[in-house]
Structure 1
């Protein structure tokens, strides 16, 4: 049913990164760099969604087709307010029912999403994370971040900091320490307008 949270394994309440690690990561993000960090199910790479140079750098690292767009994650719905501005009131219900949690919603773009984040779509992929490390990172940065699996297109995602470093090396501005959540797979993706599940 539309709006029901995805069922799955409960997530370990892992320890958030310490303040020094967060400060290093935030400095890198504000400098337009790409960082690696643990997420709900796999290691990911993140950057400032409003830095075209950073997003382009992330896409090159992944060898990802820019047309596909990218997911943006936040610590709370308030951080997504500009992205949700103008949304029909009725469509907030499924967002509130499933966030924070492992459901990414394709939300109609109101013109706020940068073109490189949106890709060739009329919607933008948004999630409020319940991973403590990602929440702390978004809070320290002061807003949402691009979040995508740490891998090259078509290859398995990194499952550890060592994997992420081996893949991207000095191209990373920072590697945030921490543990993965215990969800068995990356977030479900659903279309907000139709409720259709695009990725289970």
Structure 2
């Protein structure tokens, strides 16, 4: 599922604010609000397929939920608060790194694509077959050519003829028999 980096940043900031509210004024209600927020954030990450960030958030969520067993021990002991703070800071830094890295990659990609190339990428799904044409691959290519009715274009290429600057397809099929690594 797609997501804007600003959505992720906004939810992470809300989580961080809830934690700071609890630290500034420890009590059962601010802790419950933080617990609900971390649970919501963990679910948000899982729904977006961000498994690494979700695992970090889920681990923190589990630590928070175990503290409800000691509901009569508020405020939470200082060492436990420090451990939660450390876990939250790790999560926040990982989210910040994720957003920054992805924004740089998108910016770099956008800078290298011409308008014609990006339009072509979006408008015509393509499959490249790379390798020598054999009877087996010819049969496959004949079948793949029938995909043009679905708007999918198939191309045959020899490995030696590929341009390093070519805008690649969404799918590569490669004939590897007879080739050695080296």
Identify the TM-score tier after normalising by the shorter chain.
under 0.3
TM-score, structure 1 normalization = 0.20
Greater RCO structure (CA 8 Å; 6+ sep): 1
Q: Which has the higher helix share?
A: 2
Q: Which has the higher strand share?
A: 1
TM-score, structure 2 normalization = 0.21
